[in-house]
């Protein structure tokens, strides 16, 4: 039968919040309760009769509580098929009572790892009995209801109350599915902890929190975000974030986190910076960033690593943009920014903590370490006879940071802590450079004294030749081409300076 009456329940939980109403409801419906340890004590203190599992099994809890419910009289009661004659006969023969409902949660393994606890304490939080009970009850959803998380208590209480402790097959199957979601996530977390050194090359990733988005990259595509965005951001204003919003925000965060020791502002469009600058104030940094491309900034994603004040907000409000993210806002600034009801205002609360990246391709997944290498002064190898000036070093390192987060092939032109222009996502480096030069002309920005950054080496000297013709006198690139000397020789002949970093920053 699809509808099943609950006559007996096994309850063994770590977290007992909101459990008491369910226990009382079951008791008032005449349900036989079985329990263990702390849960048994909790039920008894609520004035409700309960049978200890040890009484059912005639076997005590042993090994410091590691073995409590692992017994045929428990698992037989859960796994028995109520309409199978052979199961019915064996249940009678061994005096095993049926168990129609299991309420169990798991030791807080992930929270224990996150707390910085020692290995032995973490190992003891690998649940054995709980995970076994969950799997057994979920497997037998035809006859048994499994409640595997305190998150489910309120909904279950409503079902039991409205249906007089009866459940439908569809409900039991749904909660079985939720149970396997929980158990698979739990096992993935344990694997991740034990395989921290990546000794076993097996792709496993589990995120239980999710949010259905309006759509994916395009309206005909479904989109879902898996993760807990609230850990990183508080949304202070605006409409719901879209798939494309999230992709752009990710790119913006990755870029702005390159700037630790100076006030920075970036404007992004389709994951590439159309403006980026540093300044003494947020307002100065913003206005410098905007100057690079006042057209692309329209509808863009803005981000800064400093608190936005009222003066900055006044300037920002003149521009139509989708999103702004910052570590904070003054009250006056927030009041100004909220004047557009759909404008998304995010407060950034933490840095990115992920160390890996992955994406689906073909019929599988590729994974890699995040590019966490930021080119620093000590990485610069001057390969020309002319040395760099302090001002050039600052500009080169700034350009390198922006270049690292721009789609390949890319060339970035910068000076005085300001992105002047960039060539983005081109099939040749020459095309990228020509695009950057033309863009600088369109917005009336001089390249005289600017520096050039490239995400990969120059296979030919053509780029340095073109750059020199536009007034660029300093170049930063990874190096590594078999024809590096051709570019170096051209720089020597034209009093340009070139530095190698030894690190390529492709971004596809």
d(CA 41, CA 442): 76
Are 458 and 411 in contact by the 8 Å Cβ rule? The answer is no
d(CA 275, CA 269): 9
Question: Tokens 């009336």 sit at which residue?
Answer: 444
Given 5, 24, 142, 270, which residue is catalytic? 270
Question: Tokens 């000397």 sit at which residue?
Answer: 485
Are 433 and 462 in contact by the 8 Å Cβ rule? The answer is no
The pairing of strands 166-167 and 51-52 is: unpaired
Cis peptide leading into 186, omega within 30 of 0? Answer: no
Q: C-alpha distances in angstroms, 463 versus 13, 479, 490?
A: 67, 13, 10
Nearest to 131 by CA among 149, 151, 155: 149
Instruction: Write out the H or E segment, with its range, that includes residue 52.
Output: strand 51-52
Given 139, 211, 317, 373, which residue is catalytic? 139
Helix axes 462-469, 484-493, angle to 10 degrees: 30
Residue count of the chain, please give it: 508
**Is 139 annotated as catalytic?**
yes
**Is 185 annotated as catalytic?**
no
d(CA 456, CA 478): 6
Q: Which residues are catalytic?
A: 139, 270
């Amino acid at each position: 039968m699809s509808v099943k009456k609950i006559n007996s329940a096994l309850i063994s939980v770590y977290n007992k919040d909101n459990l008491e109403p369910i226990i009382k409801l079951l008791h008032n419906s005449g349900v036989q309760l079985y329990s263990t340890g702390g849960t048994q004590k909790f039920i008894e203190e609520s004035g409700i009769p309960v049978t200890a599992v040890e009484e059912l099994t005639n076997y005590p809890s042993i090994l410091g509580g590691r073995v409590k419910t692992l017994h045929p009289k428990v698992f037989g009661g859960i796994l028995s098929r109520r309409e199978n004659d052979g199961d019915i006969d064996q249940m009678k023969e061994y005096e095993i009572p049926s168990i129609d409902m299991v309420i169990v949660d798991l030791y807080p393994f992930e929270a224990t790892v996150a707390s910085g606890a020692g290995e032995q304490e973490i190992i003891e939080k690998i649940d054995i009995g709980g995970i076994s009970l969950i799997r057994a009850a979920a497997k037998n959803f035809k006859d048994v209801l499994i409640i595997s998380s305190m998150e489910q208590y309120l909904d279950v209480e409503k079902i039991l109350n409205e249906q007089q402790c009866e459940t439908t097959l569809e409900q039991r199957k749904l909660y079985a599915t939720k149970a396997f979601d929980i158990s698979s996530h739990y096992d993935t977390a344990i694997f991740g902890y034990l395989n921290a050194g990546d000794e076993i090359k097996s792709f496993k990733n589990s995120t239980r929190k999710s949010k259905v988005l309006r759509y994916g990259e395009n309206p005909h595509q479904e989109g879902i975000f898996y993760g807990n965005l609230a850990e990183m951001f508080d949304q202070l204003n605006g409409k719901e974030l879209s798939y494309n919003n999230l992709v752009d925000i990710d790119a913006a965060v990755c870029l702005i986190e390159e700037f630790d020791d100076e006030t920075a502002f970036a404007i992004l469009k389709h994951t590439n910076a159309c403006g980026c600058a540093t300044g003494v104030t947020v307002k100065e940094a913003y206005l410098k960033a905007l100057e690079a491309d006042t057209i692309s900034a329209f509808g863009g994603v803005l981000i800064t690593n400093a608190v936005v004040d009222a003066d900055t907000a006044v300037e920002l409000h003149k521009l139509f943009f989708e999103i702004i993210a910052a570590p904070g806002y003054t009250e006056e600034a927030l009041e100004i920014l909220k004047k557009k009801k759909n404008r998304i205002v995010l407060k950034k609360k933490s840095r990115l903590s992920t160390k890996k990246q992955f994406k689906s391709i073909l019929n599988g997944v590729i994974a890699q370490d995040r590019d966490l290498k930021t080119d620093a002064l000590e990485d610069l190898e001057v390969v020309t006879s002319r040395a760099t000036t302090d001002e050039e070093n600052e500009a080169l390192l700034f350009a390198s940071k922006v270049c690292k987060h721009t789609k390949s092939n890319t060339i970035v032109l910068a000076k005085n802590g300001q992105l002047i222009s960039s060539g983005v996502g081109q099939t040749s480096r020459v095309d990228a450079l020509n695009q950057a030069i033309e863009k600088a002309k369109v917005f009336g920005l001089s390249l005289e004294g600017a520096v050039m950054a490239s995400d990969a080496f120059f296979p030919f000297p053509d780029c340095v030749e073109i750059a020199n013709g536009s007034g660029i006198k300093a170049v930063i690139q990874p190096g590594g081409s078999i024809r590096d000397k051709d570019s170096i020789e051209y720089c020597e002949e034209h009093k340009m300076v070139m530095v190698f970093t030894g690190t390529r920053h492709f971004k596809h």
